[in-house]
Amino acid sequence: MQYRKIEKLGIEVSAFGVGCMRWPMKKLEDGTDVVDEEISTPAIRHAIDLGVNYVDTAYVYSGGRKNEIALGHALRDGYREKVYIATKLPTWPVQTKDDMWRILGESLEDLETDCIDFYLLHALNRDSWHKMRDLGALDFLEEARAQGKIKYACFSFHDNYEAFEEILTAYDWDMAQVQFNYMDVNNQATVKGVRLAGERGVPIVVMEGLRGGKLATAPDNVQALYDAFPVKRSPVEWAFRWLCNFPEVATVLSGVTNMEQTEDNLAIFDRCTAGAMTEEELALMDRVREAYESRTKVGCTGCRYCMPCPNDVDIPRIFSIWNSKFQFNETLEGNWDYRRVIRDGHDASKCVGCGACEGVCPQQLSIIDLLQTADAEMRAKE
């Protein structure tokens, strides 16, 4: 196993961290859904036996408190001492500081431990960060650390670069967990955000390194690029190699769902080190990204000639989200990206059809009609 040093914390973590979010569930006789521990326990113990020392769960995974309970069971028999546990404080059920203490207490109990190594404010975006900050979450983290209930104060993140920069620079965080992969160079925290974290000495933990599994199988036009390259690797290995190339990345979480994937990833992460990719390999990944991007719904290049829109519609952002759904054949259900655009007041319903954008679009797109279709498709599936 390859280990990566986190200078700030003086520890080493395995480059491959096991994400528990996708653990399989089963139904008990009374109809209750629980994690299928006959599958999850041997899988995670096997990964730990082979050197994984970082495991990621959350209070809310598997339907609320169930994932942490299953992890607590899996880490009995001496396994707890072999790993760093990361778990998360959900922001949405928190209304007071007492809620934070209650949830932390339940996590400690469920995980059967006295101290959580990495404690994260879960899935921060601009709004939830403001809410947690104003409720005193930073004081809570400091106090919990002083009491020995947590070791490191961290956050996980889902929003854009501006929000990431605001949160990252507001506190001396011990770690930031971000959605990052070769498709998200300009999305979510972005490469710029990962570099900024590195400059501030804040280690990055990667989630959705395979875009939730979407990058594990390549569509024909992408596979053709891999096939033409002299070195043969699986799409999964290319994706993980690209991530491990960043020295800012401490560990890459992978939500493996079976033993074969665990074995595959253990082998891949042994081979991928920081700064190891050649210029030709990096250029291949740029072409792969372009090949995915060519599978678009609308030919917007993001040049932003159409901006600012007099009615504040974020035209390039809307088209980028819409395209991404089609590139990976994603369902439009649970479309959090578009919900954030609506939250920010920049969604397509604000368009009054003034046409200022169409007159300046270098691609001569029928922006007004396209916005209406995008809005109808994405909003219908909210």
Ligand X SMILES: NC(=O)c1ccc[n+]([C@@H]2O[C@H](COP(=O)([O-])OP(=O)(O)OC[C@H]3O[C@@H](n4cnc5c(N)ncnc54)[C@H](OP(=O)(O)O)[C@@H]3O)[C@@H](O)[C@H]2O)c1
Q: Which residues neighbour 38 within 8 Å (Cβ) at sequence distance 6 or greater? A: none
| Interface positions, 147-166, toward ligand X (CB under 6 A) | 156, 158
| 161: Cα separation from own chain's centroid | 14
Nearer to ligand X, 257 or 296 (CB): 257
- Residue 271 Cβ vs ligand X, minimum distance, rounded to whole Å: 13
| Interface positions, 188-227, toward ligand X (CB under 6 A) | 207-213, 216
Residue 240 · residue 274 · CB < 8 Å: no
Residue 158 · residue 187 · CB < 8 Å: no
Residue 56 · residue 19 · CB < 8 Å: yes
Which residue in 179, 172, 134 sits closest to 157, CA to CA? 179
Nearer to ligand X, 316 or 328 (CB): 328
Could you give phi then psi for residue 17, rounded to 5 degrees?
-110, 140
- Residue 156 Cβ vs ligand X, minimum distance, rounded to whole Å: 3
- Which residue from 132, 153, 253, 357 is in contact with ligand X, where contact means CB under 6 A? 253
- Residue 240 Cβ vs ligand X, minimum distance, rounded to whole Å: 8
Nearer to ligand X, 19 or 193 (CB): 19
d(CA 158, CA 183): 15
Q: Which residues neighbour 10 within 8 Å (Cβ) at sequence distance 6 or greater? A: none
Query: Which region, left, alpha or beta, applies to residue 136 given φ > 0 means left and ψ of -120 to 50 means alpha?
Result: left
- Does 272 interact with ligand X (rule: CB under 6 A)? no
Nearer to ligand X, 251 or 323 (CB): 251
- Residue 176 Cβ vs ligand X, minimum distance, rounded to whole Å: 10
- Residue 336 Cβ vs ligand X, minimum distance, rounded to whole Å: 10
Nearer to ligand X, 53 or 365 (CB): 53
Peptide bond into 308 cis (omega under 30): yes
- The amino acid sitting at 311 is N
Nearer to ligand X, 159 or 375 (CB): 159
Residue 12 · residue 49 · CB < 8 Å: no
Nearer to ligand X, 100 or 357 (CB): 100
Q: Provide, for the chain, the percentages of residues in helix, strand and coil under a 3-state DSSP scheme, each rounded to the nearest 5.
A: 45, 15, 40
- Residue 270 Cβ vs ligand X, minimum distance, rounded to whole Å: 13
Annotated catalytic residue, options 61, 182, 226, 292: 61
- Does 94 interact with ligand X (rule: CB under 6 A)? no
| Interface positions, 303-332, toward ligand X (CB under 6 A) | none
d(CA 218, CA 226): 9
Residue 292 designated active-site: no
- Residue 242 Cβ vs ligand X, minimum distance, rounded to whole Å: 13
CA atoms within a 13 Å half-sphere pointing along the CA-CB vector of 213:
9
What character string, x for contact with ligand X (CB under 6 A) and - otherwise, covers 29-68?
---------------------------x------------
- Does 20 interact with ligand X (rule: CB under 6 A)? yes
- Does 256 interact with ligand X (rule: CB under 6 A)? yes
- Does 177 interact with ligand X (rule: CB under 6 A)? yes
- Does 257 interact with ligand X (rule: CB under 6 A)? yes
207 forms beta bridges with 179
Torsion of CA 210, 215, 217, 218, to 10 degrees: -160
- The amino acid sitting at 364 is Q
- Which residue from 141, 236, 272, 357 is in contact with ligand X, where contact means CB under 6 A? 236
Q: Helix or strand or coil: residue 204?
A: strand
- Which residue from 68, 110, 174, 264 is in contact with ligand X, where contact means CB under 6 A? 264
Which residue in 177, 100, 114 sits closest to 143, CA to CA? 100
Q: Which stretch binds ligand X (CB under 6 A): 127-135, 143-151, 257-265, 276-284?
A: 257-265
* Residue positions annotated with a catalytic role: 61
Q: Which spans of this chain sit near ligand X (rule: CB under 6 A)?
A: 19-22, 56, 88, 122-123, 156, 158, 177, 207-213, 216, 236, 253-257, 261, 264-265
